[in-house]
Amino acid sequence: MRYLVTGVAGFIGSQVAERLLPRATELIGVDCFTANYPRSMKEENLQILRSKPNFSLLEADLGAADLPELLSGVDVVVHQAGLPGVRPSWGREFSEYVAHNVVATQRLLEAARNAGVRRFVYASSSSVYGNAATYPTSEETLPRPFSPYGVTKLAGEHLCNTYAANYGLSTVALRYFTVYGPRQRPDMAFHRFVAAGCRGAEINVYGNGEQIRDFTHVDDVVRANVLATEADLPPGKVLNIAGGSRADVNTVLTLLAGLVPTPLRVTRTDHQAGDVEETWASCDEARRLLGWTPKVELLDGLASQVDWYRARLEPVLAATTNSDLDPDLSVVPAPAVRKPAKAGS
C-alpha cells in the first residue's frame, strides 16, 4: 500500500503516519510548515518518521503543488492538513483558512479522483455543529458552524461528499471532538494548562470554565483513522470521533491539579467569540461501521500529556532557570513517554 498523509508534521498527522508506516510499502508525508507555531516542534514530531526507509517528506503547499504527480500510484490519502483554530479564523485571517482548508482540499480531491485513489480520509471537526439544538449530536444533526473555522471544515466535508456523489470517490470525513494528548499544539487549552501547571505559571481560562467538551485522546483519533483507511464504507460517509470523556473545563483543572507538582494559579478572562458552550457526540456509527470505540479515559490521557511535557521540560530545567523557559519548549528533543492506560473497548 502507498499512503499519502498531509499535515504530516502536525500533532495528529505525525502520529497517524507512524501508525500506518508498518503496513506501508511507501508513505509520503506532505507539510507546508505554516508559521502557526514553531517549526522546531513540527520537526520534532517527524523524528521517528524520518528514521524509517519507507517514509519520504515533501515540503509543499497543497494549494500550489503538482498534485497529479504526487498522487500517482497512491492507494490511500489521509488528509490531516489544514489551518486550525477557532479564535484566529476571524477577520482578515479568514482568507488563509479558505486557502488551506477549502481550496487545498478541493485540489487534493480532484487529483485523488483522477489518480484512482481507493480511499480518501478527511479530518473534519466538531466545530461544524456549532451550538447544536440537541445532545448528544449524531451525524444526522444539522451542522450550524459558530465560527469561520467551522465553516471551512464543513465546506471541506461538502467537497468530499460532492466528489463521492459525482465520481464515486470513496471519501470518509471524521469529525474530531477536542483532541488532546502528547504533541498537542501549544495554542490549545490542554497544552497551555499543562505547561503552566508544570512550571507554576498562571493558567488563563476563557469564560467561567463551565464550557463542556467531549475530550478525545489522540491515540483514539489515530486508531479511528487507521480503521477508516480499511473499513468497507459507502462513499461520502461522515463519522463522529469523540472520546466519551465529557467534562467541563473546571473539572479538567481539578484533575490536572493532582498531576502537576505545584498548585494551579488560575485567572479568568472574557468568553471568546466562536467558542461553543457544549460538545457531546454520539459515536454509534463509528462503532457500527469501524468497530471503533474510545479507549482512553480522561485522567489517563491527561496524565500522558503531563508526562510528555515534563519529559521535555526536565532537560531544560537542568540547563536554565525557570524564568528563562520558553513555555512551548520548541527546541527540546522528544524522549519516549508513557502511553496512557486503556480502559475497556
Q: Cα–Cα distance between 334 and 328 in angstroms, integer? A: 13
Name the helix (H) or strand (E) containing 305. Answer: helix 298-317
d(Cα 275, Cα 142) in Å, to the nearest integer? 18
Q: Which residue has the cell 471541506?
A: 156
User: Quick one: which of 165, 167, 228 has its CA closest to 5?
Assistant: 228
Report CA Rg, the chain.
19
Question: What is the rounded distance in angstroms from the CA atom of residue 17 to the CA atom of residue 27?
Answer: 8
> How is residue 72 written as a grid cell?
500517482
Return d(Cα 344, Cα 337) in angstroms, integer. 22
DSSP character string of 156-173:
HHHHHHHHHHHH---EEE
CB 59 within 8 A of CB 31: yes
φ, ψ for residue 159, nearest 5 deg: -65, -45
Alpha helix (H) residue ranges in 168-265: 189-199, 218-230, 249-257
Strand partners, 246: 214
Among this protein's residues, is 149 annotated catalytic? yes
Number of alpha carbons in the 13 Å side-chain half-sphere of residue 106? 10
Specify the pairing of strand 171-176 against strand 76-79.
unpaired
Closest CA to 276 of 87, 12, 80, 139: 87
> Which of the following is catalytic: 97, 122, 129, 149?
149
Residue 315 grid coordinates: 532537560
The whole-angstrom separation of Cα 159 and Cα 172 is: 11
Q: CA–CA separation, 86 vs 148, rounded Å?
A: 7
Active site residues: 149
